[in-house]
Amino acid sequence: MIDFVGKKRWFFLISAIAIIVAIISLAVFKLQPGIDFAGGTSTTINLTPKVERSESPQLQAQLRQEMTEFGHPEAIIQFQRKTSDFFVRMKFMSPEEVNELEDRLEGVFHRDVEISVPLEMSPTIAAKTAHNAGIAVGIAAIATLLYIAWAFRRMTKPFRWGTCAIIALIHDVLIVIGIFSILGKVANVEVDAMFITGLLAVVGYSINNTVVVFDRIRENMSKGISPDFAVTVNSSLIETLQRSLNTSLTTLCVILALFLFGGATIHHFILVLLIGLLAGTYSSLFIAGPLLVVWEKGEWRQLFSWLPFVRKPV
Amino acid sequence: MKKRNIYLLIFILILFGFALWSIVPINTKLLGPNGLTLGLDLRGGSQLLYKADLSKKDPSVTDSQAMSSVIEKIQRRVNQYGTTEPVIQKQGTDQILVQLPGVKDIREAISLIGKTALLDFREQKLDENGSPVLDDKGNWVFEDESAKAAGRDGKERELTGEYLNHARMDMDPYEGPVVVIEWDSEGGYLFEKITERNLHKPLAIFLDNEEISAPVVQSIIRAGTAGQIEGHFTIEEAENLAIQLNSGALDVPLTISGQENVDPSLGADSIQKSKQAAIIGIILLLLFMIVYYRLPGLIACISLGIYGTFLLAIFSAFPITLTLSGIAGAILSLGMAVDANVLIFERMKEELRTGRTLGATVEAGFDRAWTAIRDSNITTFIACAVLIWLGTSATFHASMVSGFAVTLFIGVALSMFTAIVITRTFLRLIVSSRLITNAAAYGVRT
């Protein structure tokens, strides 16, 4: 039998490094706000001869490709059916850039291209909305903690179970945000409204996974399979391993297909789900359960004994 | 036992047929099949462009302050109108761009958003002798100025919509749809004084400088009691007026300067690609289930197919406006539906290995997996309930949060039904029919 719980320090170490890197990156690089949060400019692109309704999706795909190569992958492009123009919202664009883009598009489309004077646009999502979403998730997490504590009320310390589930959740969310902060720095990846939605899904996935693992520990506790809590947790992890892997693999099928073959506009959104799925599977197996063991056995101090200022256990 | 399962199977099949009929439009004229309602990001919608007349703004505020106040009020109106994830933003210095998904009556939406909604009251105009002035048609004429009264601090104040606490549509037995208004404490005080002064006289109600009705004051309306605006409204008109009054009068008048139909913000090309990718992903998922779990896996695939059909039927029946955040909730719930099946099958395998009979295995598998499914799903329900409650509350409004939570909630409830009722009924029927008894078909090597 593999001893997962015995290797818990390694798992904690990996997570601790990931989280510290995430926090440092967040503090230093922050997140790159997309046009949903930061605003930008809007313009209409008109082609002559005019774009027919039937050719608009194909031309739009081409236009997005050109905008991406022109340094505006964030552009939201909408075809306007009455005027047959493309309405484009993007980050700030100067008049010189507009001229350059006009020439470039004329070369690609072999039509006359006219781009209207860009107008400044305010954010569509106030910082307050993102803030509110955060508070809503916080309150939802507290409600979840209370329910888990109630569901595990037969256990000796039910609140520990709820707390460990929430720690696993924070772990997953921090890793996703941290990676996006790094990607923002190195690849100019921006966060938008879809990012918030993606985080919500990560939260839901994380809680679901942890509860399933905890359920098995609870069952094995009441069966009394071992007097040693660490052994109970370890066999529960092994028993649920197949289920955890299979559930993750099935979800991964869908997410990976969307990531590899899906449209460019949801690429970053799917990336949030992908990272969240991996982090969530990891934390439900190697963080939430082992944390319970550490807490149960009072090994907190031992865990931090490598720190110079922590008193060594006797 | 066996009979009960057959009845359940028939019940499931009838439900399935109904669900299928409701999402596949055979004849759109019949009730039911209206397909899915999709949001701005997935289907596009109407784009309205308003121009603000900044010359009419209060000189004490800056242009951008006036604009953000107007935008905030428009946001409130659009939210109360029940629109899912609209786009409202300032363009240039004096334009406001509004994008709305699938609006039924665009003219109604245009006036709801763009109307200033300045509410005030006017007293009857009297000539030197104190008798009412009449116009050529013999109608009463009202003052050009709003009715004023001394406030609690003794200062003269015009009674306007500014002092409104809350407005709502109500049905009056004689007048039909009316708007009931509740004043705040200052407004109630002013209203009491004005009705006292105009007792048994007509008092005109003006909206945007237009008279909407002029009822005769029957009694003094004391502070703290609600007033009522009558104006031969339709229900929609009364509801929209209540929304406008609640959001507050716009700081500057708006005129509509453009109206367009726009394509989805996620891009038709990109959505097409993503659809294909999702189909590939789901096929992979189903293949995995069948290869790994064999017969139960195949049954799970069938019940997941039924699950998907039910989910879409519920979305189109409500109807729920699906956006990307709604889809994210649905994807997550699909994951949980698969998870419920995986949990049950893993348990069944464990039981089979201990040498139980197939019938006992199916029952034990479901019983053992139940606590895990129950607790993880209830946790999700609770989190969703909080997100829906906060996401739709007026002070908090974040419709992408509630959009996500609504579809997740429905999806998880349905996934429980799928796993516990549909998969179980199918498995019981197959096991009791003794068609397939080979343990290998259930994924266990013997």
Q: What is the CATH number of the domain that holds A252?
A: 1.20.1640.10
Please report whether residue A314 resides in a domain.
Answer: no
Q: Does B398 touch chain A (CB under 8 A)?
A: yes
pLDDT mean over A106-118: 90
Nearest to B269 among A60, A219, A242 (CB): A60
| B2 CA: distance to closest CA in chain A (Å) | 30
Q: What DSSP letter does each residue of A9-75 carry, written as one string?
A: HHHHHHHHHHHHHHHHHHHHH--EE-HHHH-EEEEEEEEESPPPGGGHHHHHHHHHHHHHHTT-TT-
Q: Which domain holds residue A152?
A: 5-34+125-303
CATH 3.30.1360.200 in chain B, residue ranges: 47-262
pLDDT mean over A15-25: 95
- When pLDDT is cut at 50, 70 and 90, the band that residue A12 belongs to is very high
Q: Is the pLDDT of residue A22 over 90?
A: yes
Residue of B260, B307, B373 to mutate for A, most A C-beta atoms under 10 A: B260
| B63 CA: distance to closest CA in chain A (Å) | 14
Q: Burial, A74: exposed, middle or buried (Cβ in 10 Å; 0-12, 13-18, 19+)?
A: buried
Q: What is the pLDDT of residue B1?
A: 60
d(CA A235, CA A100) in angstroms, rounded, equals: 64
Q: What is the pTM of this model?
A: 0.85
- Domain end: A103, A121, A139, which one? A121
Q: Is the pLDDT of residue B396 over 50?
A: yes
| B259 CA: distance to closest CA in chain A (Å) | 9
Closest residue by Cα to residue B442 from B337, B305, B292: B292
How does the average pLDDT of chain B come out, rounded? 85
Residue of B68, B375, B410 to mutate for A, most A C-beta atoms under 10 A: B375
Dihedral angle, C-alpha B170, B173, B177, B182, nearest 10 °:
-40
Block residue for tokens 């599977």: A281
Residue A133 shares a structural domain with residue A281: yes
- When pLDDT is cut at 50, 70 and 90, the band that residue B394 belongs to is low
Query: With an 8 Å Cβ cutoff, are B390 and A139 in contact?
Result: yes
Q: What is the CA radius of gyration of chain B?
A: 30
Residue A171 shares a structural domain with residue A292: yes
Query: With an 8 Å Cβ cutoff, are B268 and A56 in contact?
Result: yes
How does the average pLDDT of chain A come out, rounded? 89
More confident residue, B356 or A102: A102
- H helix or E strand, kind and range, residue A105: helix A95-109
pLDDT mean over A7-24: 93
B276 contacts on A by Cβ (under 8 Å) = 261
B272 contacts on A by Cβ (under 8 Å) = 57, 263
Task: Give me the architecture of the B47-262 domain, per CATH.
Answer: 2-Layer Sandwich (3.30)
Supply A17's token pair.
């490094």
The nearest alpha carbon in chain A to B271 belongs to A263
d(CA B227, CA B191) in angstroms, rounded, equals: 9
Q: What is the pLDDT of residue A86?
A: 93
A188: left (phi over 0), alpha (psi -120 to 50) or beta: left
Residue of B349, B401, B415 to mutate for A, most A C-beta atoms under 10 A: B401
Query: With an 8 Å Cβ cutoff, are B383 and A143 in contact?
Result: yes
Query: With an 8 Å Cβ cutoff, are B262 and A81 in contact?
Result: yes
More confident residue, B416 or B439: B416
Q: Which residues contact B145 (CB under 8 A, 6 or more apart)?
A: B122, B158
User: What pLDDT digit, counting tens, does each position of B213-231 carry?
Assistant: 888 888 888 887 888 888 8
Residue A177 shares a structural domain with residue A226: yes
What are the angstrom distances between the C-alpha of A189 and each of A165, A174, A267? Answer: 30, 17, 11
d(CA B344, CA B425) in angstroms, rounded, equals: 13
Supply A296's token pair.
């149960």
Q: What is the CATH number of the domain that holds A104?
A: 3.30.70.3400
Query: With an 8 Å Cβ cutoff, are B378 and A136 in contact?
Result: no
Q: Does B444 touch chain A (CB under 8 A)?
A: no
Query: With an 8 Å Cβ cutoff, are A80 and B261 in contact?
Result: yes
Please report whether residue A178 resides in a domain.
Answer: yes
Residue type, A95: P
Q: What is the pLDDT of residue B31?
A: 43
In DSSP terms, B56 is beta-bridged to: none
Please report whether residue A202 resides in a domain.
Answer: yes
Residue A19 shares a structural domain with residue A86: no
Q: List the 73-112 stretch of B: residues with Cβ below 8 A of A.
A: 87-93, 95, 97
d(CA A163, CA A146) in angstroms, rounded, equals: 9
Q: Which residues of A7-29 are buried (b: 16+ CB within 10 A; e: fewer)?
A: ebeebbeebeebeebbeebbeeb
Query: With an 8 Å Cβ cutoff, are B262 and A132 in contact?
Result: no
Percent of chain A past pLDDT 70, that is, above it, reads 96
Q: List the 252-281 stretch of B: residues with Cβ below 8 A of A.
A: 259-274, 276-278, 280-281
Residue A66 shares a structural domain with residue A15: no
Q: Which residues contact B62 (CB under 8 A, 6 or more apart)?
A: none
d(CA A89, CA A116) in angstroms, rounded, equals: 12
The nearest alpha carbon in chain B to A209 belongs to B376
- When pLDDT is cut at 50, 70 and 90, the band that residue B26 belongs to is low
| A267 CA: distance to closest CA in chain B (Å) | 9
d(CA B231, CA B215) in angstroms, rounded, equals: 9
User: What pLDDT digit, counting tens, does each position of B127-167 carry?
Assistant: 888 788 888 887 888 888 888 888 888 888 888 888 888 88
Neighbour tally for B218: CB within 10 Å: 9
- Domain end: A95, A121, A147, which one? A121
Q: Which of A176-185, A239-248, B74-83, B378-387 has the lowest mean pLDDT?
A: B74-83
Query: With an 8 Å Cβ cutoff, are B343 and A212 in contact?
Result: yes
Closest residue by Cα to residue A267 from A112, A53, A79, A64: A64
Residue A162 shares a structural domain with residue A106: no
Query: With an 8 Å Cβ cutoff, are A207 and B376 in contact?
Result: yes
Q: What is the pLDDT of residue A308?
A: 65
Query: With an 8 Å Cβ cutoff, are B280 and A250 in contact?
Result: no
CATH 1.20.1640.10 in chain B, residue ranges: 2-40+267-442
Q: Does B69 touch chain A (CB under 8 A)?
A: no
Q: Which of A195-199, B25-29, B247-251 has the lowest mean pLDDT?
A: B25-29
- When pLDDT is cut at 50, 70 and 90, the band that residue B445 belongs to is low
A6: left (phi over 0), alpha (psi -120 to 50) or beta: alpha
Q: Which CATH class is domain B2-40+267-442?
A: mainly alpha
Residue A168 shares a structural domain with residue A273: yes
d(CA B149, CA A108) in angstroms, rounded, equals: 68
Q: What is the pLDDT of residue B408?
A: 93
More confident residue, B2 or B10: B10
Residue of B292, B339, B396 to mutate for A, most A C-beta atoms under 10 A: B339
- When pLDDT is cut at 50, 70 and 90, the band that residue B33 belongs to is very low
Query: ω before A49 within 30° of 0 (cis)?
Result: yes
| A301 CA: distance to closest CA in chain B (Å) | 32
Query: With an 8 Å Cβ cutoff, are A61 and B97 in contact?
Result: no
Q: Is the pLDDT of residue B92 over 60?
A: yes
At residue B176, φ and ψ (nearest 5 deg) are 75, -150
- H helix or E strand, kind and range, residue A156: none
Provide ipTM, 2 decimals. 0.87
Residue A180 shares a structural domain with residue A253: yes
User: What pLDDT digit, counting tens, does each position of B98-129 carry?
Assistant: 999 877 778 888 888 888 888 889 988 888 88
Nearest to A265 among B93, B267, B339 (CB): B267
pLDDT mean over A286-301: 87
- When pLDDT is cut at 50, 70 and 90, the band that residue B294 belongs to is confident
Please report whether residue A191 resides in a domain.
Answer: yes
User: What pLDDT digit, counting tens, does each position of A77-87 carry?
Assistant: 999 988 889 99
- When pLDDT is cut at 50, 70 and 90, the band that residue B30 belongs to is very low
At residue B47, φ and ψ (nearest 5 deg) are -115, 125
| A62 CA: distance to closest CA in chain B (Å) | 9
How many folded domains does chain A comprise? 2
Residue A22 shares a structural domain with residue A97: no
Q: Is the pLDDT of residue A314 over 60?
A: no
User: What pLDDT digit, counting tens, does each position of A162-211 carry?
Assistant: 999 999 999 999 999 999 999 999 998 999 888 988 998 999 899 999 99
A255 contacts on B by Cβ (under 8 Å) = 281
Q: Burial, B43: exposed, middle or buried (Cβ in 10 Å; 0-12, 13-18, 19+)?
A: buried
Q: What is the pLDDT of residue A312?
A: 57
Nearest to A147 among B87, B379, B400 (CB): B379
Please report whether residue A313 resides in a domain.
Answer: no
- Three-state secondary structure string covering chain B: CHHHHHHHHHHHHHHHHHHHHHHCCCCCCCCCCCCCEECCCCCCEEEEEEEECHHHCCCCCCHHHHHHHHHHHHHHHHHHCCCCCCEEEEECCCEEEEEEECCCCHHHHHHHHHCCCCEEEEEECECCCCCECECCCCCECECCCCCEEECCCCCEEECEHHHEEEEEEEEECCCEEEEEEEECHHHHHHHHHHHHHCCCCEEEEEECCEEEECCECCCCCCCCCCEEECCCCCHHHHHHHHHHHHHCCCCCCEEEEEEEEECCCCCHHHHHHHHHHHHHHHHHHHHHHHHHHHHHHHHHHHHHHHHHHHHHHHHHHCCCEECHHHHHHHHHHHHHHHHHHHHHHHHHHHHHHCCCCHHHHHHHHHHHHHHHHHHHHHHHHHHHHHHHHHHHCCCCCCHHHHHHHHHHHHHHHHHHHHHHHHHHHHHHHHHHHCCCCCHHHHCCCC
| A78 CA: distance to closest CA in chain B (Å) | 5
pLDDT mean over A214-240: 91
What's CA A212's distance to the chain center, in Å? 21
d(CA A302, CA A9) in angstroms, rounded, equals: 10
Closest residue by Cα to residue B99 from B43, B36, B35: B43
Query: With an 8 Å Cβ cutoff, are B387 and A194 in contact?
Result: no
d(CA B329, CA B314) in angstroms, rounded, equals: 14
Residue A47 shares a structural domain with residue A17: no
Residue A173 shares a structural domain with residue A204: yes
What are the angstrom distances between the C-alpha of B125 and each of B137, B161, B205? Answer: 15, 22, 14
Query: With an 8 Å Cβ cutoff, are A64 and B71 in contact?
Result: no
Please report whether residue A308 resides in a domain.
Answer: no
Q: Does B332 touch chain A (CB under 8 A)?
A: yes
B339 contacts on A by Cβ (under 8 Å) = 208, 212, 243, 247
Percent of chain B past pLDDT 90, that is, above it, reads 14
The answer to whether residues B337 and B414 touch, using CB atoms and an 8 Å cutoff, is yes
- H helix or E strand, kind and range, residue A209: helix A193-223
pLDDT mean over B81-90: 85
- Domain end: A121, A142, A168, which one? A121
Query: With an 8 Å Cβ cutoff, are B331 and A201 in contact?
Result: yes
pLDDT mean over B290-296: 88
Supply B401's token pair.
């949060």
Q: Which of A241-250, B17-26, B194-203, B385-394 has the lowest mean pLDDT?
A: B17-26
In total, chain B counts a number of residues equal to 446
The answer to whether residues B96 and B67 touch, using CB atoms and an 8 Å cutoff, is yes
The nearest alpha carbon in chain A to B340 belongs to A247
Residue A57 shares a structural domain with residue A91: yes
Query: With an 8 Å Cβ cutoff, are A250 and B329 in contact?
Result: no
pLDDT mean over A33-50: 89
The nearest alpha carbon in chain A to B288 belongs to A250
Query: With an 8 Å Cβ cutoff, are A79 and B263 in contact?
Result: yes
pLDDT mean over A1-9: 84
B274 contacts on A by Cβ (under 8 Å) = 258, 262-263, 266
Q: Is the pLDDT of residue A56 over 90?
A: no
Q: Is the pLDDT of residue A287 over 90?
A: yes
